Amino acid sequence: MGCMFSCCCCCGVCNENHNLKYCTPKREKPDPELFPQYIQNKQGMWLHFTGWMPPRSVPEVRGVLFVISGLGEHAARYDGVGHYFSRAGYHVFCMDNQGAGASEGERLYVVDFNDFVDDFFLFKRHVLSLHPEYAALPRFLLGHSMGGLIATHVSLRDPTGFNAFVFSGPALQPDPKLATPFKKKLANMLSDCTPKLGVGGIDPKAVSTNRQVVELLEQDPLYFKVKLTARWATTMLTAMEAVWESIEKATYPLLIVHGEKDALCPLSGSRKFIESIPSCNKRLIEYPGLGHEVLTEVRWREVLRDILTFLDSHCE
C-alpha cells in the first residue's frame, strides 16, 4: 500500500529503516573476547544476551532453555526465571530483542516482524556453537507476550527444532476493541507514511498485579519509556494473522500459561490456539486472579513449577 501523502524523506518518523549511525550489514562484528555477550544480526545491529548456568551443586545439565522476552523488555527482567530453571538443571539463555534493553535498534520499532524471528534463529545457532557439548541435550523455548508470538513463529518455521514449547500470555490475538476495521486501516496508512510515529503505550500497572514488579518496572531505565510505533503495531497484527494460516504445522508438545485477568493479551487467543492445533500433546493452564505477566505474578512459584514439570516430562 503506497502512502497517500507526500513526506520529506529526511523526516525521522517517515524513514522506515533504523536510523542507527553504525549499523550496516558490512559492519565489523563484535570482538568475542571484548564483547562476549553480543551478536550481530543481518542488519548490523549488536544484540545483547544473557545466560544462567546451573550451579556446581547441580550434577549435570538436563537441557537448554531459550527465553524470548516481551515488548520493550530485556533479559535482566527474567533473572528470577533464569535462576529458577538453572537451579533445576537447565542452562537458560535470553536475548534482548532489537530495539529493546541493551540491544541496538530504535526503541519499539521493527521494519518487519520476521526480523525478530530471524534474530532468534541467529541467537540459537550462536549459543549452540558456543556449547557444542549441548548438541544432544533437549532444547526448549519459552516465549512471553510478544515473545510468545515470536516463539509461535519460530515453532511454525521449525516445528522439530525443540523438544517442546512454552508460551506465556502469548500475543496471538489483538484486543477486538483496538483492532476494528477502521483502526486497522488507519494504522496501515500511518505505517506506510509515518512508520515511526508514536501511536500509544502500555501502563506498567497492566503488566502485573504484583506491586513489587510494577514499582521496579516504572523505574527500570532499560524498560521502554516511549510510545509504540505505527509500524510495530501493523507488523504485530500481520504476524498474528499469519499464525492462523500455518496452524496445521503445530504438531509439537506445547504448554501455554495464561493469567485469567490478562488485560494486554486476550486469553481467548490462547484458548483458540490450543483448540485449533493438531498436536496430541498440548495443555493450557489458566490462572484465576493473575494478570499478564504470570512469570512474575504473586503466584509465580506455582507458574514456574508447572512449567518445570512440563519441561522435565520432555527430557526423557
- Cell numbers that stand for 107 in this block: 526503541
Q: Three-class SS of residue 306?
A: helix
Burial of 160 (0-12, 13-18, 19+ CB in 10 A): exposed
Question: Three-class SS string for 237-279?
Answer: HHHHHHHHHCHHHCCCCEEEEEECCCCCCCHHHHHHHHHHCCC
Q: Around Cβ 293, how many Cβ atoms within 10 Å?
A: 27
- Cell numbers that stand for 68 in this block: 524470548
125 to 41, 89, 135, 227: CA distances (angstroms): 12, 21, 11, 32
Distance CA 295, CA 291 (A): 10
In sequence order, which residues have a C-beta less than 8 Å from that of residue 208 and are 6 or more positions away?
214, 217, 291, 292, 293, 296, 297
Please give the backbone phi and psi of residue 273, each rounded to the nearest 5 degrees, phi first: -65, -45
Distance CA 316, CA 251 (A): 19
Name the residue with cell 509465580: 300
Would you name the residues annotated as active-site residues?
145, 262, 292
Query: Among candidates 276, 274, 147, which has minimal Cα distance to 286?
Result: 274
270 to 23, 109, 130, 179, 200: CA distances (angstroms): 37, 25, 34, 17, 24
